[in-house]
Chain A
Amino acid sequence: MKLQRLEFRNFKLLDGVVLEFSDRHDRPLTVIRAANGSGKTSILWGLTWALYGQGALPLASPRLGPSWQAVGAPMVVQVIVNFTHEHLGETAKYTLTRSVEETPISENEVEHKSEILQLTRHAEAGDQILKDADIYLREMFPIRLKDTFLTDGDKVQGFISGSHDRKEQQERVKQATRSVLGLDTLEAVQLDIESVEKKLRKELAAEGGKELEEAEAALAACDAELEQLRTRRNSVELERSRIDDGIRDVETELASLRGIGDIELLNAQLETAKRDAGNVEADMAGLFIQIRGLLKSSELFSWGLAETRLRAGHRVLADLADRGVIPGHSIGVLQDRLELRECICGESLADGTTHREHVMSLLDEQAKISQERERLTATFHRTRSGLSEFDEAKNDGRDFDTVRKQVIDRHVDLSDRLSEVNKRRIDAEAKMEGIDEARIQDLVKRLAQYRQDLLDRVEQLGALDRDIRAKDDERTITEKRFHEAQRKATGIAKAEARYEIATDLRRVLDETIRIVKSNCVDAVSSRMNELFMEIVGSNPDLAGAVFKRVAINESSEIIVESAEGALLNPDFELNGASQRALTLAFIWALMEVASRVAPRVIDTPLGMTSGGVKQRMVNAITLPVEEHGLDYQIVLLLTPAEIRDIEDLLHERAGKSQTLSCSKDYPAELKHDWGVSRPEIRVCRCGHDQSCATCERKVETGASSGGASRD
């Protein structure tokens, strides 16, 4: 199927917008350039709605008409798709029209009448309106492939990762693979042929006599019982799978709850933290007492504070002592001389002599200053002994400064310990509050029940497997009996031929399904790996490679292996660009392997991808049909930012280009006023490097400058 034209009537703000698509082999790409808010997502929605109806849209009852439509005013919304489709080797043109009458019933709610769907096949003999258009559409665009045909680039990773749980991802990959490879069709034919084979076997038996009839009845009974056993097995297997899921969910929740901490352990931690806090607080109190004591023991404190001045004073006193100024011995000498009545110089100091009077005046003078000397002497001795003690204390580390430093260090240490202990206490208390003990008990109970159920299902499966093996053996013997009876019977050649044709057909089909499953999945896996490595520019053979391979495993999971051989989780261990690359590689590989001619419409495929990955990604998904080897069509809805740096490549690959603009962007971004009273989106035929009066923007954020202007 290839898109030719898409027309919107009253759909969102796209009323009157007509898009055309390239179906050229040399240029399979159609570029639709649109800034954010200019209708790219609306186009994807419109196409999704036209092809699949409202059920395929992300909202239950979405507003399809323009946002300005008045409450209570009905409006017919319509999307018309022109496309070609190849069926049984013939390509025909079709027109699909989907319409609905929509009435806004409030600001946010709308009411829809029944949708009207019309599918017309255009032929030389005349146009034919096809009955049951839905049935044709389901065949042409299987719903399982919706995300493969029409992809929202911003959600593209979600196809294989992100919001979907593991099972859902597996199912998506499995269903997309099955649908594209046509396995559903093959299996439906397989069921048809099995049914016919059984019927023809019964007819053969009816013509072959009693013995053959009995053998056939026994064979049919075996088949019926085997079918019942297998159905039962599938159902038990499904139950087991659900129990497995349940166990995983409960274990995850328990792990997360227990990740907070074990309640008893937390209690013990809390007690320890409280005790430690008490100890540290007591140590701190002791320290404060020590500090107070230190301040009170004024001696060392004073010595410490006045050390420099005291040493200077002591030096002055020592000098006085050295010079004999202190302690002072002149009074005794003068008194001796007066008593001896002779001066040390030999002169007489007899009473009434001038010399004696002079010595007596010296004695008076000395008596006056001796008190000062005594004080200085005492101070000298005190300072000397004090400094000696202080030096001794200093040498022993008992001086004020050293003790002060020790006290400060101890205080800092205790403060740190106190805050660490308090943090432990607060953490433990917070965790205690976070634990839902009742929920844990409930989960533990459920887990025990699940495990019991699992054991039960495993036993049931074992028993069913034994029954199936026994029944298979019984069937083999019964079949032998049937063939023996068949050989003995006569006149059944025609019936035998009929039965054997059916058997042969069934065998061919069984083998075909086995081969398609195995070969095609391998081929998709291998091609996906090739494309992914090409896009991310990784060569597993070179040193420094990030990835070794990507593949689809037997459980339909997409796996990513690092260069070191570790399995990477696509959700958390791949960056956004690699996730996009992986999903696009999967979709492309699937389409290529299935040789399915289908449009691949991708909204914002590149996102924030840049540099080499961006170039390689666009290159890989827009190759000319001749180089690609398969017919296909690609439509990229790109923002100007996505276009940046790949203008040349787009120029080379695009068969058709259009630009969408929205009136709301004037005057902020659009250069020209369209003179409209309501917001609307318009399309012009400007390519990614052109502009006109409709689309010209004030700042060209994407296309290279100097683009031609056209009307």
Chain B
Amino acid sequence: MAVSSPQEVLKDQIFSQPKRYEGYHEDLVEILQSALTAVKALDETPAARRARLGEVIRAKANQAVVRG
């Protein structure tokens, strides 16, 4: 009776796009989960949270994440 949790839906969304996200499915899942955790933790201002999220994305891109 329980439906998929938002995290599970997120995962399904990412893994159901094999072509587009090929090579960085796990990275996307990780980034989104950390974004969710950050929002839940309530220990940062939105601006600080967004700045950190930007940095995480930059770091992933710098690791030569290649899209499919």
Contacts and interface: CB of A to CB of B under 8 A. Distances in A.
A498 B61 contact: yes
Contact of B67 (A185, A500, A509): A500
A592 B27 CA distance: 30
A182 B4 contact: no
A430 interface: no
Interface string B33-60: 0011111111100100110011001101
Contacts of A182: 5-6
Interface stretch (A519-527, A540-548, A559-567, A612-620): A519-527
Contacts of A107: none
Interface in A471-529: 494, 497-498, 500-502, 504-505, 508-509, 511-512, 515-516, 519-520, 523, 527
Nearest to A501: B57
Nearest to A183: B6
Contact of A189 (B4, B35, B41): B35
Nearest to B49: A192
A192 B9 contact: no
Given A196-B50, A523-B1, A189 B61 contact: no
B10 A512 contact: yes
A185 B3 contact: no
A192 B35 contact: yes
A497 B65 contact: yes
Given A192-B53, A196-B53, A593-B3, A135 B42 contact: yes
Contacts of A183: 6
A592 B65 CA distance: 39
A191 B35 CA distance: 11
A395 B23 CA distance: 118
A500 B1 CA distance: 36
Contacts of B9: 512, 515-516, 519
Contact of B36 (A185, A502, A593, A595): A185
Interface in A182-197: 182-183, 185-186, 188-189, 191-193, 195-196
A433 interface: no
A185 B6 contact: yes
Contact of A519 (B4, B20, B24, B54): B4
Nearest to B54: A196
Nearest to B3: A523
Contacts of A505: 28, 31-32, 35, 57
Interface string A580-594: 000000000000111
Contacts of B1: 523, 527, 592-593, 629
Nearest to A510: B13
A46 to B, nearest CB: 26
Interface in A127-153: 132, 135, 138-139
A139 B42 contact: yes
A502 B57 contact: yes
Contacts, number: 107
A138 B42 contact: yes
A88 B40 CA distance: 10
B67 A88 contact: no
B42 to A, nearest CB: 5
A141 to B, nearest CB: 13
A195 B24 CA distance: 22
A189 B39 contact: yes
Contact of B57 (A88, A188, A200): A200
A592 B2 contact: yes
Contacts of B41: 139
B32 A497 contact: no
A504 B50 contact: no
Nearest to B20: A504
A698 interface: no
A520 B47 CA distance: 30
Nearest to B13: A508
Contacts of B4: 519
A115 B42 CA distance: 22
B20 to A, nearest CB: 7
B35 A193 contact: yes
A199 interface: yes
Contact of B3 (A192, A196, A520): A520
A501 B50 contact: no
A181 interface: yes
A414 to B, nearest CB: 73
A199 B13 CA distance: 24
Contacts of A594: 2
A500 B43 CA distance: 28
**Counting chain A CB atoms within 10 Å of each CB, which of B3, B41, B64, B67 scores highest?**
B3
A630 interface: yes
Contact of B32 (A189, A199, A494, A516): A189
B6 A186 contact: yes
Contacts of A193: 35, 53
B36 to A, nearest CB: 6
A502 B13 CA distance: 15
A516 B50 contact: no
Contacts of B39: 185, 188-189, 192
B50 A497 contact: no
A195 to B, nearest CB: 5
Nearest to A521: B3
B36 A186 contact: yes
Given A135-B42, A196-B50, A593 B35 contact: no
B36 A189 contact: yes
A90 B2 CA distance: 21
Contacts of B32: 189, 505, 508-509
A181 B10 contact: no
A186 B46 CA distance: 14
Contacts of A199: 50, 54
Interface of A: 88, 132, 135, 138-139, 181-183, 185-186, 188-189, 191-193, 195-196, 199-200, 494, 497-498, 500-502, 504-505, 508-509, 511-512, 515-516, 519-520, 523, 527, 592-595, 629-630
Q: 9 nearest interchain CB pairs? A: A497-B61, A498-B61, A188-B39, A523-B3, A595-B2, A189-B35, A508-B13, A196-B54, A135-B42
Given A185-B36, A592-B2, 5 more contacts: A189-B39, A192-B46, A498-B58, A501-B57, A592-B1
12 contacts: A182-B5, A186-B36, A188-B39, A195-B50, A196-B57, A498-B57, A501-B27, A504-B67, A516-B6, A523-B2, A593-B2, A593-B3
